Amino acid sequence: MTSERRRPRIAVDAMGGDFGPEVAVPGALQALREGADCEVVLYGDQARVDPVLAASAAGALAVDQVHCADDIPMDAAPAAAVRGRPDSPIVRAMRDHRERRVDAVVSAGSTGAMVAASLLILGRLTAAERPAIATFIPTVRGETLLVDAGANPQVTPALLLSFARMGTTYCRAVRGKESPTVGLLNIGSEPSKGNELAIETHGLLRDSELNFAGNVEGNEVLVGGSDVLVTDGFTGNIALKMCEGVAQFLKELARSGGLAAAELAGLAAFGSVVKRRFNYETYGGAPLLGVDGVAIICHGRSTQLAFTQAVKEAVRQVACGLPALIGRTLADAAREEG
Amino acid sequence: MTSERRRPRIAVDAMGGDFGPEVAVPGALQALREGADCEVVLYGDQARVDPVLAASAAGALAVDQVHCADDIPMDAAPAAAVRGRPDSPIVRAMRDHRERRVDAVVSAGSTGAMVAASLLILGRLTAAERPAIATFIPTVRGETLLVDAGANPQVTPALLLSFARMGTTYCRAVRGKESPTVGLLNIGSEPSKGNELAIETHGLLRDSELNFAGNVEGNEVLVGGSDVLVTDGFTGNIALKMCEGVAQFLKELARSGGLAAAELAGLAAFGSVVKRRFNYETYGGAPLLGVDGVAIICHGRSTQLAFTQAVKEAVRQVACGLPALIGRTLADAAREEG
């Protein structure tokens, strides 16, 4: 029996990120070299992408190209940029995704533009009120999926419940966890702890069909409190960036002088340990959950490894049909709740 | 000219904290040995405090004692405990403070009980709507005062403005900073970024008499964004505890095995650097701002050094008359806003 399924086509914004095509393109190609079951479609300025492709000996690889004459600057107002720059990689890739010419979009460009383009072009899944950014945080025990990492600064308890459902479906379908635990980021372990939002959300999660593990305090996150960690995009963004800040703090500490040689050596050795365990590159990018398609938002400082991992992550999500699964989960829950 | 001013009397909860009188008592006495201009009054079970005092050769030091037959457990419901345990160190010390028999209260007991006892016994300053916990975070450039660190999970923009005023008055009076900068913990630098609370607070701070330095993102906190960092107690508590979590993460990493000897040595050397710079002990405790008195809330894991520093911090606040200064700042602002 032959399969007529075509290989997934993963759109990669070749221009996005701090380092441009010189990092995005070889990073994406590396995924193919490592056997990722997909084609890579590079969206960007052909004049800049071609030389990188030529230097990459990509002849035998499944690479396609879509020339984009425009681009969205990192500081542009997202919705206006998406409307006003139809020939930018993010907008062209999202349009092609909507028309099923590609199956996923990977970009290290503006996070706001990625969210806006996903919403305006792909649209929300029918039962999803708002999409959320899901970010993996490495922990002592493995990893925790933080939802939302910044797409929704203002939320409701019902919205947080939907984030928990989307995160659970993701962990089940993409990570193979049968019954992922859900934690609520909060300032104490008791159900009565927190602000009004947290207290009401605690009740909704407890009464839901989810595997709710209770509140998780800030100091418990990195130890590994739960598979999914639910919070609003304001708190989630600050919690994530505090972690980033610790890394910066250590670098500055080393630079600021006054450290003994053994201490500097200690810092360096320590850095390698942390890099191995506590590194966004491992995960490649953050999936946007709740939109009608696969959108992977990469860090602006993404390296080649990050792009490689992001392409592989996109392939996994396409392979299991993640958007449809999330849509079904949310629709089932909406029916249950009548 | 002789001064008739009596030396400040600092009440120390000898029973509070994870390590009891064996750590709290010598820690407090050390402040006297290092020349702190005060008397120390130890509140606690005499049967447990006496032997520690005897072993401390405290004969020449200005130490007084108040026997307390009861204590507040760490997990007790705060307000009920304060009402139901009049003979606990926190409650007796606060009552003595209200009656001016002591001038400050230092405790590493339950944070909730300290906040509740301050509110119920000392009371709020007239113009203060709610007290806030102020915590120093060490940064690359020095330190930043986070207000609120957890006393108020649910706030309003006007309340955050009052926290900024209290923090500014503290930095000016106790730390000698002439025009402390105020930052707002937020998820982007633009005034339009954040949730509704952050956006409205940004406007209030910008239009105020304060030295507002704009939004500070999570990754900027430890680099040293501003002298005062304003946030609600929910976000502040999680941000602080995420930092604590990084330290725990490192410990677990070392314990979990799989590290090379050089990496373990590096971790240890590095730990000493962090301990020197990034250590709550340096600050002793977190002042509770906005109550009619001086209350220093110490970490449950407080060491001797932490108690020593907390007593010195209490002396500084008493010496400059901090509560009265904060009361005047808030009253002046209320009049201006008329």
Strand partners, B150: none
Peptide bond into A148 cis (omega under 30): yes
H or E element, residue B240: helix B233-255
Q: What's the CA gap between B34 and A211, in Å, rounded?
A: 54
What are the backbone dihedrals phi and psi of residue B37, each rounded to the nearest 5 degrees, phi first? -85, 75
| pLDDT band (50, 70, 90) for residue B144 | very high
Asked whether residue A92 falls in the same domain as residue A149, the answer is no
CB contact under 8 A, A249 and B195: no
How many domains are contained in chain B? 2
What integer best gives the mean pLDDT of chain A?
Answer: 91
Asked whether residue A134 falls in the same domain as residue A276, the answer is yes
Mean pLDDT of B160-179: 97
Of A226-235, B153-162, B229-238, B249-258, least confident by mean pLDDT is B249-258
Buried b (16+ CB within 10 A) or exposed e, B48-66: ebbebbeebebeebebeeb
CB contact under 8 A, A195 and B153: yes
DSSP annotation string for B258-289: ---HHHHHHHHHHHHHHHHHS-GGGT--EEEE
Mean pLDDT of A298-324: 95
DSSP annotation string for B68-111: -S----TTS-HHHHHHH-TTSHHHHHHHHHHTTSSSEEEE-S-H
Strand partners, B124: B291
Asked whether residue B57 falls in the same domain as residue B18, the answer is yes
Q: How far is B141 from chain A (nearest CA, A)?
A: 10
Q: What's the CA gap between B304 and B321, in Å, rounded?
A: 26
SS3 A105: strand
Interface test with A, best of B240, B259, B273, B274 (most A CBs within 10 A): B273
Cβ atoms of A17 and A300 within 8 Å: the answer is: yes
User: Does residue A258 surpass a pLDDT of 70?
Assistant: no
Peptide bond into B148 cis (omega under 30): yes
**Quick one: pLDDT at residue B291?**
97
- For residue A60, being part of any structural domain is answered with yes
Residue of B nearest to A199 (CA): B153
Q: Which two tokens stand for residue B66?
A: 């108040």
Interface test with B, best of A216, A249, A250, A256 (most B CBs within 10 A): A249
Asked whether residue A145 falls in the same domain as residue A82, the answer is no
Q: Which two tokens stand for residue B189?
A: 């630098």
**Quick one: pLDDT at residue A169?**
98
Using CB atoms, which residue from B185, B217, B270 is nearest to A266?
A: B270
If you ran DSSP here, which 8-state letter would residue B27 be given?
Answer: H
Q: What's the CA gap between B237 and A176, in Å, rounded?
A: 33
Task: Give the distance, in angstroms, between the CA of residue B210 and the centroid of all CA atoms in the same chain.
Answer: 22
Q: How high is the ipTM of this complex?
A: 0.90
Interface test with A, best of B270, B277, B301 (most A CBs within 10 A): B270
Task: Give the distance, in angstroms, between the CA of residue B323 and the centroid of all CA atoms in the same chain.
Answer: 14
What integer best gives the mean pLDDT of chain B?
Answer: 91
**Quick one: pLDDT at residue B187?**
95
User: Does residue B168 surpass a pLDDT of 80?
Assistant: yes
If you ran DSSP here, which 8-state letter would residue A6 be given?
Answer: P
CB contact under 8 A, A253 and B277: yes
- For residue B329, being part of any structural domain is answered with no
Residue of A nearest to B252 (CA): A140
**Quick one: pLDDT at residue B252?**
75
Q: What is the pLDDT of residues B85-130, one digit of tens each?
A: 999 999 999 999 999 999 999 999 999 999 999 999 999 998 888 9
- For residue B143, being part of any structural domain is answered with yes
**Quick one: pLDDT at residue A214?**
97
Cβ atoms of B236 and B152 within 8 Å: the answer is: no
Contacts of B153 in chain A (CB under 8 A): 187, 193-195, 198
If you ran DSSP here, which 8-state letter would residue A8 be given?
Answer: P
Percentage of the residues of chain A whose pLDDT score is greater than 70: 92
Q: What's the CA gap between A323 and B307, in Å, rounded?
A: 55
How far apart, in Å, do the first and last CA atoms of chain B sit?
44
Asked whether residue A92 falls in the same domain as residue A169, the answer is no
- For residue A207, being part of any structural domain is answered with yes
Q: Which two tokens stand for residue A235?
A: 């708190």
Mean pLDDT of A46-70: 93
User: Does residue B5 surpass a pLDDT of 50?
Assistant: yes
If you ran DSSP here, which 8-state letter would residue A174 be given?
Answer: T
Asked whether residue B96 falls in the same domain as residue B139, the answer is no
Residue whose C-alpha is closest to residue B185's, from B235, B223, B241, B144? B235
**Quick one: pLDDT at residue B279?**
60
Residue whose C-alpha is closest to residue A45's, from A14, A74, A19? A14
Mean pLDDT of B314-338: 94
CA torsion, points B246, B251, B253, B259, in degrees to nearest 10? 130
Q: How many CB atoms lie within 10 A of CB B281?
A: 20
| Encoded amino acid at A272, one letter | S
Q: What's the CA gap between B12 and B310, in Å, rounded?
A: 9
Q: What's the CA gap between B184 and B146, in Å, rounded?
A: 10
Mean pLDDT of B200-220: 96
Q: Which two tokens stand for residue A195?
A: 């602000």
How far apart, in Å, do the first and last CA atoms of chain A sit?
43
Percentage of the residues of chain B whose pLDDT score is greater than 90: 74
- For residue B297, being part of any structural domain is answered with yes
Q: How many CB atoms lie within 10 A of CB A223?
A: 17
Cβ atoms of A123 and A291 within 8 Å: the answer is: yes
Strand partners, B63: B40
**Quick one: pLDDT at residue A282?**
72
**Quick one: pLDDT at residue A51?**
96
Mean pLDDT of A60-73: 95
User: Does residue B325 surpass a pLDDT of 70?
Assistant: yes
Cβ atoms of A197 and A151 within 8 Å: the answer is: no
Task: Give the distance, in angstroms, between the CA of residue A221 and the centroid of all CA atoms in the same chain.
Answer: 18
Strand partners, A11: A41, A105
| pLDDT band (50, 70, 90) for residue B1 | very low
Contacts of A193 in chain B (CB under 8 A): 153
Mean pLDDT of B45-74: 94
Contacts of A239 in chain B (CB under 8 A): 218, 238-239, 242
Residue B40 has, within 13 A of its CA and on its CB side, a CA count of 34
**Quick one: pLDDT at residue B12?**
98
**Quick one: pLDDT at residue A2?**
47
| Encoded amino acid at B169, one letter | T
CB contact under 8 A, A238 and B222: no
CATH code of the domain in which B143 resides = 3.40.718.10
Residue whose C-alpha is closest to residue A8's, from A123, A124, A101, A91? A101
**Quick one: pLDDT at residue A1?**
43
**Burial class (CB within 10 angstroms; exposed 0-12, middle 13-18, buried 19+) of B277:** middle
**Quick one: pLDDT at residue A257?**
65
CA torsion sign, A238 to A239 to A242 to A243? negative
Using CB atoms, which residue from A218, A268, A270 is nearest to B238?
A: A218
CA torsion sign, B215 to B216 to B217 to B218? negative
Asked whether residue B13 falls in the same domain as residue B139, the answer is no
Q: What's the CA gap between A151 and B253, in Å, rounded?
A: 31
Asked whether residue A177 falls in the same domain as residue A273, the answer is yes
Cβ atoms of A125 and A330 within 8 Å: the answer is: yes
User: Does residue B275 surpass a pLDDT of 90?
Assistant: no
Residue whose C-alpha is closest to residue B288's, from B201, B187, B192, B163? B163
Asked whether residue A134 falls in the same domain as residue A101, the answer is no
| pLDDT band (50, 70, 90) for residue B284 | confident
Q: Which residues contact A314 (CB under 8 A, 6 or more apart)?
A: A8, A10, A38, A103, A104, A105, A106, A294, A296
Contacts of B268 in chain A (CB under 8 A): 266
- For residue A76, being part of any structural domain is answered with yes
Q: What's the CA gap between B310 and B318, in Å, rounded?
A: 12
Contacts of A249 in chain B (CB under 8 A): 139-140, 222-223, 278
Residue the block writes with tokens 């604590």: B244
- For residue A307, being part of any structural domain is answered with yes
Asked whether residue A81 falls in the same domain as residue A109, the answer is yes
**Quick one: pLDDT at residue A183?**
98
Asked whether residue A136 falls in the same domain as residue A274, the answer is yes
Q: What's the CA gap between A167 and A184, in Å, rounded?
A: 12
Contacts of B223 in chain A (CB under 8 A): 245, 248-249, 252
Asked whether residue A25 falls in the same domain as residue A80, the answer is yes
Q: What's the CA gap between A69 and A48, in Å, rounded?
A: 11
What totals of helices (H) and strands (E) does chain A contain, helices first? 11, 11
Pairing of strands B228-230, B181-185: parallel
Q: What is the pLDDT of residues B229-269, one digit of tens each?
A: 999 999 999 999 988 887 777 777 777 666 677 667 766 76
Q: What is the pLDDT of residues A166-181, one digit of tens each?
A: 999 999 999 999 999 9
Domain-terminating residue out of B236, B263, B282: B282
- For residue A335, being part of any structural domain is answered with no
Q: Which residues contact B281 (CB under 8 A, 6 or more apart)?
A: B302, B303, B305, B306, B309
Of A217-221, B73-77, B225-229, B269-273, least confident by mean pLDDT is B269-273
Mean pLDDT of B72-87: 94
**Quick one: pLDDT at residue A293?**
98
User: Does residue B172 surpass a pLDDT of 60?
Assistant: yes
Q: What's the CA gap between A176 and A191, in Å, rounded?
A: 29
Query: Can you give the residue range of the structural domain that contains B107?
Result: 1-128+290-320
CB contact under 8 A, A222 and B245: yes
Q: Count A/B contacts: CB-CB distance under 8 Å.
A: 160
Cβ atoms of A4 and A34 within 8 Å: the answer is: no
**Quick one: pLDDT at residue B68?**
98
Pairing of strands B9-13, B228-230: unpaired
